[in-house]
A and B are shown apart, each in its own frame.
Chain A
């Protein structure tokens, strides 16, 4: 008896994954492109910079943009373009490292709180609440005063301030996942909690955490530049965009450029991360999508 041959079901198009969806959004493309430029500039700074970053040219004091100094020079005759390129290195290093610190510590704390529950959860989350009770800049400044200003301290200060944000973000999805049947199944199969967390909980928590991380990279760049502006972040002669604005501000009446360009550079990098973070958030939470897509 010939076997009945069923026509193959029409291939259902797979729902588009996050990367595909992201590429369709103009915000992602613009934000991503800006970031590509910023990151390339930071990575290739030693090769792209026309002058050594601390080299002073007394004849070029406060030189206007154009000529030998494309974006002009500061009060010490240092090339602004070169310092912006290296300043991006500082910004991205501090922002990246501090967010990584907060994401790791806060993520672990949030998952632990959600997964363990009971007194552990109470202890961890109340601790986070107390940390949250402090205004962020003030807490960061206090940490800097205790540890002494410097790049590593800046990373730690921003990182610590951001920990509770990631703990809260990680706890929510953990609570949801914990109740799922497959977790019970994994448990019944005798899998160890560590393995369950790594294999089943972490992947569910990672997406919201990544979105939050993108947004926090934007705020961390602003944070670093503000601390450096106040003299509590990156220390001279290391180039930091905030420090450059702070120095340039003293000569505003003579020439605006040493303050204008580094500030614009900060806005560009922060906007890049904000655009990317915003579009990712919209993709994950359709309720945030603009009205015209539903109308």
Chain B
């Protein structure tokens, strides 16, 4: 396990390096001149343009620019927004808490919905119940988040007035209001993920139910409830943990769509606004950060998987 851990961590460095190079390269493929954006499109004075380009280091070869960028990154400097002139690290520090809260909230709701539904579908002997739950989860996978969000706002905020719209007080100032205002976006984000997790729970339980040790437990005359609880559930959860981890990786990267629908000032919306405003240093930092989070969470999931299942031994 320790050797595997060391191996994976060592491999992380080249992966992060390749990703950073790719992100940097991709951003440079975006048409348009960042210096022109900074200067404003009305200003076409070539001397000023050249001066700005020199200031930004845009007149140097691309590998030099990349080297400087990575050097600054390693020192914790993510660059400066060309629109607001503020350090990007500060912008991210403001946006990230919204994204983290939304992600954890959505993940919690998803698990709350998914595990009972999946467990019931995976262990029931009722054909109707299983088919019903399968249809329900397929429907969950077929919902466009932006539409569900709009419909939830319509129903609960416009008609019933149960939840406030588009205000997100800080958790520390007013926990009650905070939890209320994040409920609808978290639910929107949770639904498709709950459907996916429930299906995985069900499939995994069905597979485990065919294992020899479960047959033995049945032959011993154990009650079905005991078999499910003591013998099936833990083993069935191992592949589910992987899926939960992947979902967490996605959620922590910020949901561009849900943050946009509910006007939550998180990472996803920040990235989208950077596109609209052509603030490419911000976009570059957001893409890099989100991809890093995604890779790191996936690595954590892989490690957890090994820790959970003693049958898996990575040589």
B residues in contact with A185, CB < 8 Å: none
Across the interface, B144 reaches (CB within 8 A) one of A266, A278, A292, namely A266
Using known A-B contacts A138-B256, A245-B146, A295-B125, determine if residue A145 contacts B291 with beta carbons closer than 8 Å: no
Asked if A259 is at the interface of the complex by the 8 Å CB criterion, the answer is yes
**Of listed B29, B31, B124, B257, residue having the most chain A CB within 10 A:** B257
Mark contacts of B295-311 with chain A using CB atoms, 8 A cut-off: 1 yes-contact digit, 0 otherwise.
Answer: 10010000000000000
A residues in contact with B158, CB < 8 Å: 252-253
A226 touches B145 (CB 8 A): yes
The size bracket of the interface on B is: 35 or more
A residues in contact with B143, CB < 8 Å: 267, 270
A146 touches B153 (CB 8 A): no
In angstroms, Cα B158 to Cα A288, docked, is 42
Using known A-B contacts A229-B257, A271-B138, determine if residue A146 contacts B209 with beta carbons closer than 8 Å: no
Asked if A222 is at the interface of the complex by the 8 Å CB criterion, the answer is yes
Mark contacts of B239-252 with chain A using CB atoms, 8 A cut-off: 1 yes-contact digit, 0 otherwise.
Answer: 00000000001100
Asked if B51 is at the interface of the complex by the 8 Å CB criterion, the answer is no
A133 touches B150 (CB 8 A): no
B206 touches A288 (CB 8 A): yes
**Which stretch of B14-22, B84-92, B97-105, B107-115 is in the interface?**
B14-22
A130 touches B18 (CB 8 A): yes
B residues in contact with A252, CB < 8 Å: 150, 153-154, 158
A141 touches B291 (CB 8 A): no
A245 touches B138 (CB 8 A): no
B142 touches A271 (CB 8 A): yes
B154 touches A256 (CB 8 A): yes
CB within 8 Å of B: which A239-283 residues: 242, 245-246, 248-249, 252-253, 256, 259-260, 262-263, 266-267, 270-271, 274-275, 278
Asked if A40 is at the interface of the complex by the 8 Å CB criterion, the answer is no
**Of listed A133, A135, A218, residue having the most chain B CB within 10 A:** A135
Asked if A290 is at the interface of the complex by the 8 Å CB criterion, the answer is yes
Chain B min CB distance to A227 (Å):
9
Asked if A21 is at the interface of the complex by the 8 Å CB criterion, the answer is no
B257 touches A230 (CB 8 A): yes
B residues in contact with A270, CB < 8 Å: 141-144
A residues in contact with B207, CB < 8 Å: 287
A145 touches B206 (CB 8 A): no
Asked if A20 is at the interface of the complex by the 8 Å CB criterion, the answer is no
Asked if B271 is at the interface of the complex by the 8 Å CB criterion, the answer is yes
Asked if B287 is at the interface of the complex by the 8 Å CB criterion, the answer is yes
11 contacts between A and B (CB under 8 A): A138-B256, A138-B290, A142-B26, A142-B287, A145-B283, A242-B144, A252-B150, A267-B143, A270-B141, A278-B134, A289-B206
Chain A contact residues, CB within 8 Å of chain B: 130, 133-135, 137-138, 141-142, 145-146, 148, 218, 222, 225-226, 229-232, 242, 245-246, 248-249, 252-253, 256, 259-260, 262-263, 266-267, 270-271, 274-275, 278, 287-292, 294-295
Chain B contact residues, CB within 8 Å of chain A: 15, 18-19, 22, 26-27, 29-31, 122-127, 130-131, 134, 138-139, 141-147, 150-151, 153-154, 158, 203, 206-207, 209-210, 249-250, 253, 256-257, 260-261, 271-272, 275-276, 283, 287, 290-291, 294-295, 298
Given contacts A142-B283, A230-B256, 18 further A-B contacts (CB under 8 A): A130-B15, A133-B291, A134-B291, A138-B290, A138-B291, A226-B146, A229-B257, A230-B257, A245-B150, A252-B153, A252-B154, A259-B150, A263-B147, A263-B150, A271-B142, A274-B142, A290-B206, A292-B126
